[in-house]
Amino acid sequence: MIVEDSAVVRHLLSHIVSRDPRLQLVAAIPSAEEALAEITRVRPDVISMDIRLPGMDGLEATRRIMAEHPTPIVVIADAVEEGGLRISMNALRAGALTVVEKPLGPSREGWERAAEGICTQLFIMSQVPVIRRRAGGLGAPRSAPQLVFPLPTPSQPALVGIGASTGGPPALARVLGALPADFPVPVLVVQHMGAPFMEGFAAWLDGLVAPRVTVAQDRTLPRAGHVYVAPGDRHLGITAGGLMQVSEAPPVGGQRPAADVLFQTMARNLGPRGMGILLTGMGEDGARGLTALRNAGGLTLAEDETTAVVYGMPAAAARLGGVSSLLPLDLIGPRLLKAAGSPETGARTK
């Protein structure tokens, strides 16, 4: 199902979807209200959602759909519009799976160039099982937390690295939202997301959590009380001298930035002084790096299947023996506070 108010864009999007052999167009709807009325009739496997809609916007539509008719949602958004980007990020928090950049302007050429990426995202997300969302944005846990090969807790880490992909923005907001503004350890984040969205993503996250969130800069020293997000289409790692390293090295496992790069540099240069966390995501990025970090003596956590939107990345790390503990999302922040020796007083959000 396509939900898009512009008749021109709706036609272009319908065209590229209809000609993709992996996809079948069941409806092209101009408003959220009509989409909600039609969803029970057409029962789509995935929804392409515009954000700027007349009447009910895409954010509220996402909330309603995830509460009433849980369906994978891909947000198609203009990355250069700040207000639209903020709504898009909040739509991810409400249950949308990913955000894809809308080509600039309603030109056929722009949409033809973007067709493969948009259709691939729609096809991949159509395979993701979703669950009904409660007000907090996460479905109810499906089982008890599980421990895998528990290890003694090392001394306070010097650096925390977090990797996430599909479902990552709201998960990161939940984990980082548990931290106080003076959290004593710097945090580096790799989130798979289109390059044009990364500045806005960092700004959105900065408005939700107490620590300062910025995009990482090459050859700078990470500071306590700060969270550094990998720039779009750039790897993020840590050097032997403790400086952040932003690089244009080739993609690893098809990803740039790659969580594997972050965790592997932490294993090599920090060893037991590094702490790694792998959250929800499709594929296996981060699994090998997290295993290397654990083998180097670092504490490694991964999100449990009970809360992960997509259990691919954490599951891959667990299979390789790279996870010290699998925890539901709401327990990862408190565990991080404990490892850093920070009191669990509840973080003050901005």
| Number of Cβ atoms within 10 Å of the Cβ of 18 | 11
Q: Identity (one letter) of the amino acid at 89?
A: M
Res 112: pLDDT: 84
Catalytic residue among 48, 88, 165, 342: 165
For range 237-241, the mean pLDDT: 96
Res 68: pLDDT: 92
- 211-232 residue pLDDT tens: 999 999 999 999 999 999 999 9
pTM of the model: 0.86
CA distance 303 to 332: 8
Ordered strands of the 2-3 beta sheet: 28-29, 2-3, 47-49, 73-77, 98-101
Residue 227 near residue 187, CB atoms below 8 Å: yes
Catalytic residue among 285, 304, 324, 325: 285
Which of these, 245, 208, 214, 242, lies nearest to 228 by C-alpha position? Answer: 214
Three-state SS across 81-104? Answer: CHHHHHHHHHHHHHCCCEEEECCC
Specify whether 192 is catalytic. yes
- 186-214 residue pLDDT tens: 999 999 998 888 999 999 999 999 999 99
Specify whether 165 is catalytic. yes
Res 350: pLDDT: 55
- 107-151 residue pLDDT tens: 778 788 889 889 999 999 998 887 665 544 444 444 444 444 444
Residue 172 near residue 129, CB atoms below 8 Å: no
Specify whether 285 is catalytic. yes
Catalytic residue among 192, 260, 324, 325: 192
